[in-house]
Chains A and B, each alone.
Chain A
Amino acid sequence: MIVRARTFRPLSLAVVVIVVGIAACTAPGGDGATRTANVGSPTPAPEVYAVGREATAQEIAAWDLDVNPKGEGLPPGAGTVAEGAIVYAKTCASCHGPNGEGMPPNPKLVGRIPGDSFPFATDSKAAKTIGSYWPYATTLFDYIRRAMPPNALGSLSANDTYAVIAFLLSTNNVIPADAVMNAKTLPAVQMPSRNRFVRDNRTGGAGFK
């Protein structure tokens, strides 16, 4: 048998009176009467449970390795295109090809589309390279530092990472061959497809978008 009951929590300092309509299970008592079990907790819920401990500055520094488009998170260091060519040949070429042309299933890294058009929705063969698709240069540092090369994760120094990014951006004709990448220059790089990305604003409802 199901009954509808109203449960009132006791008023305490921080707890607002909550009125909840609930369905409470009942069981027949020995005398045939109905006993109702109220849903709730024996003590009112606290605002916080004081679980966990404060993270130390050292712990945060050890894991907080992401880099955002403003360049926040970029470490000191610098690298040139020429230095990057050496790092690339040694570290990246075996999977991505000598010139970033890709080795399926490893993606092509280098290549622009004539006129920097953006035909990807109509042409599934169009290659999404750093030069043709990636909207932010800082993503290169963020991604390479966290996930490349997969056979020696974390092995690239900051200088090597800046250098290989300089090489990739130069090979994509995004920066000149004499450019130097560092914490100041990398966020300033304008990627060809920077303004192609729009945020999803759909909320459902009738009609296909």
Chain B
Amino acid sequence: MDAEQRTSCNRNSSKDDSVQPPEPNDDAVPRTSDKSALSRRALLAGAATAAGGAAFAALPDLLTGQAATAPGAATMPQSTTAVAAAAAATDVIVVPEDPTRVLGLPTSAHSIRSPFENPSRVPVGLVSGSSRTPIHLLTGTITPNDLQFERHHGGVAIIDPGKYRLMVHGLVKRPTMFTLDDLKSLPAVTRMHFLECSGNGRAGYTGSKADTTAQQIDGLLSNAEWTGVPLKTILAEAGGVTTGAAWALAEGGDAALLSRSIPLDKLLDDAMIVYAQNGEAIRPSGGYPARLFLPGWEGNTNVKWLRRLELIREPNMSKDETSKYTDPLPNGTARQFSFEIDAKSTLTSPTYPARIARKGWVQLSGLAWSGRGKITAVDVSTDGGTSWVQAELQGTPQPKALVRFVSLWKWDGSPAVLMSRAHDESGYVQPSIEVFREGRGPGTDYHYNHIRAWNVDAQGQVTYGAAT
């Protein structure tokens, strides 16, 4: 096996940034993630390569020490204790030259990714900040749980589920304290929805560069099957709301005590308190043990580590609904409480740094979503928006969920500009960057849903080109 494959197995994200204070601006553009360094263990394991197999580091493995003496021949552990110990270790894995001639790895408590695959988030900031989903490396619409994007303002809170409490108070008939078990005992619903930070797309709009990846531009986006309790059930348990209740202040139990004001109408519509995604408990970075989930609404309102809901008359005007998460407009105002994610699509393949290797058929593939319901169509263009053809939507679009679109294109070797354009069931059409820039201004913030462009040169190299 060659060095390229060995380097691909590095699991240590290279945190080479200097230590940052805890609240960076959320417009920090992530660095490129592709510069993974060889880990020490990978280098040590390199000796095994010469002896007939490729060695990979940082994986639960049984073969340490055997690689040098008996390359290509695995020995099964003799007890479950040995298995557990081996699974707990992060060491070296050997890829035999002929997997049909040696036993494979034993059973294990948790599966591993192939050492040849390493989709990774791009973390920015060491305490607060964000980590972006590698949308350019994923297929379908479900984001694996360890690759869901994260964004937080006071670090990832670690909460003991036994001590978790959700308090619902204010303009309700009966101020109520819920445990996690209480929440889980209520009738649950499971729904497929996207989650997107409203700052997504900033790297593709303000000062964008050609060597920007789809992950850097649109990686503050994930999609999951969420399980939890409808908010209207919770409010009913608190005796229902009393006269004058029109909003609720949702507050997280993290170091930022992040809070947002949410209209009561949304809480009584499709809001949920979720405790699971894609079949397992939500992760700490996703708000474990329970978070607010508002289908189709900007990520920041989906308050994580939710500890308090106070029913109120008027919005609280908290920091994240005044100084942040408001959208300046060219007429000298700022749009506030712009909750719904406008219809949007983004190409995931081919995108920078991909290069189209040869003339012929290329599959254009990407994601589309709308906070206002279902995607009804996605158009693609290979000539910079002069002509459009409708792409195929894979599966039946779900409301407020990602749908994948694909379209086959025969590349003739000449320069091209690839674009996608989403339509949703409200009749909204994703705008061009010219229309977007005129309507919102070149310095606006949040909700960047303009059409993205990817330039293809005569060598097949794809680069980002939306800001042209």
Residues of B with C-beta under 8 A to A48: 236-237, 239
User: For chain A residues 1-56, which have a beta carbon within 8 Å of chain B?
Assistant: 45, 47-55
How many whole Å from A144's CB to the nearest CB in chain B? 9
At the interface, yes or no: B151 with Cβ under 8 Å from chain A? no
In this complex, the member of A52, A107, A203 whose beta carbon has the largest number of chain B beta carbons within 10 angstroms is A52
A51 pairs with B426, CB closer than 8 A: no
Among A104, A123, A134, A204, the residue within 8 A (CB) of B428 is: A204
A105 pairs with B24, CB closer than 8 A: yes
Q: How many B residues, CB 8 Å from partner?
A: 83
Among A45, A107, A196, the residue within 8 A (CB) of B25 is: A107
A-B CB contact pairs (8 Å), 20 listed: A48-B239, A54-B176, A55-B177, A60-B175, A106-B21, A106-B23, A106-B24, A117-B332, A119-B443, A120-B443, A121-B441, A124-B442, A126-B443, A139-B319, A147-B256, A147-B319, A197-B326, A200-B340, A205-B426, A208-B439
User: For chain B residues 176-196, which have a beta carbon within 8 Å of chain A?
Assistant: 176-179, 182, 185-187
Interface string of A193-209 (1 = CB under 8 A from B): 00011111011111011
How many whole Å from B100's CB to the nearest CB in chain A? 41
Interface string of A168-209 (1 = CB under 8 A from B): 000000000000000000000000000011111011111011
At the interface, yes or no: B150 with Cβ under 8 Å from chain A? no
At the interface, yes or no: A101 with Cβ under 8 Å from chain B? no
At the interface, yes or no: A75 with Cβ under 8 Å from chain B? no
Segment among A61-69, A77-85, A159-167 that sits at the interface with chain B: A61-69
How many whole Å from B21's CB to the nearest CB in chain A? 5
- Residue in chain A with minimal CB distance to B445: A120
Among A103, A146, A204, the residue within 8 A (CB) of B257 is: A146
A146 pairs with B323, CB closer than 8 A: no
How many whole Å from B352's CB to the nearest CB in chain A? 23
At the interface, yes or no: B200 with Cβ under 8 Å from chain A? no
A121 pairs with B440, CB closer than 8 A: yes
Complex Cα spacing A49 to B233, Å = 9
A128 pairs with B323, CB closer than 8 A: yes
A198 pairs with B323, CB closer than 8 A: no
Which A-B residue pairs are the 6 nearest by beta carbons? A204-B426, A121-B441, A105-B24, A124-B443, A120-B328, A146-B257
Interface string of A128-141 (1 = CB under 8 A from B): 10100111101100
A150 pairs with B22, CB closer than 8 A: yes
Residues of B with C-beta under 8 A to A50: 237
A200 pairs with B336, CB closer than 8 A: yes
At the interface, yes or no: A153 with Cβ under 8 Å from chain B? yes
- Residue in chain A with minimal CB distance to B207: A124
B175 pairs with A199, CB closer than 8 A: no
B338 pairs with A153, CB closer than 8 A: no
**Known A66-B318, A107-B25; contact A120-B323, beta-carbon cutoff 8 A:** no
- Residue in chain A with minimal CB distance to B372: A204
A139 pairs with B323, CB closer than 8 A: yes
Among B186, B206, B342, the residue within 8 A (CB) of A124 is: B206
- Residue in chain A with minimal CB distance to B166: A52
Complex Cα spacing A55 to B125, Å = 37
**Known A147-B256, A197-B322; contact A138-B317, beta-carbon cutoff 8 A:** yes
Complex Cα spacing A199 to B321, Å = 11
Residues of A with C-beta under 8 A to B127: 150
Residues of B with C-beta under 8 A to A208: 431, 435-436, 439
At the interface, yes or no: A95 with Cβ under 8 Å from chain B? yes
At the interface, yes or no: B209 with Cβ under 8 Å from chain A? no
Complex Cα spacing A202 to B435, Å = 17
A150 pairs with B21, CB closer than 8 A: yes
How many whole Å from B393's CB to the nearest CB in chain A? 19
- Residue in chain A with minimal CB distance to B314: A68
Residues of A with C-beta under 8 A to B431: 208
Segment among B8-16, B46-54, B139-147, B304-312 that sits at the interface with chain A: B304-312
Among B28, B153, B169, B207, the residue within 8 A (CB) of A55 is: B169
B316 pairs with A55, CB closer than 8 A: no
Complex Cα spacing A38 to B228, Å = 24
How many whole Å from A174's CB to the nearest CB in chain B? 14
At the interface, yes or no: B444 with Cβ under 8 Å from chain A? yes
- Residue in chain A with minimal CB distance to B206: A124
Complex Cα spacing A14 to B24, Å = 53
Complex Cα spacing A69 to B322, Å = 12
A53 pairs with B329, CB closer than 8 A: no
- Residue in chain A with minimal CB distance to B252: A146
At the interface, yes or no: B411 with Cβ under 8 Å from chain A? no
At the interface, yes or no: B158 with Cβ under 8 Å from chain A? no
At the interface, yes or no: B110 with Cβ under 8 Å from chain A? no
**Known A120-B328, A124-B206, A200-B339; contact A63-B167, beta-carbon cutoff 8 A:** yes
Complex Cα spacing A177 to B277, Å = 53
A209 pairs with B332, CB closer than 8 A: no
In this complex, the member of A65, A121, A153, A206 whose beta carbon has the largest number of chain B beta carbons within 10 angstroms is A121
Complex Cα spacing A143 to B175, Å = 24
B336 pairs with A54, CB closer than 8 A: no
Among A146, A196, A205, the residue within 8 A (CB) of B256 is: A146
At the interface, yes or no: A90 with Cβ under 8 Å from chain B? no
In this complex, the member of B187, B251, B318, B435 whose beta carbon has the largest number of chain A beta carbons within 10 angstroms is B318
- Residue in chain B with minimal CB distance to A46: B236
- Residue in chain B with minimal CB distance to A45: B187
- Residue in chain B with minimal CB distance to A67: B316
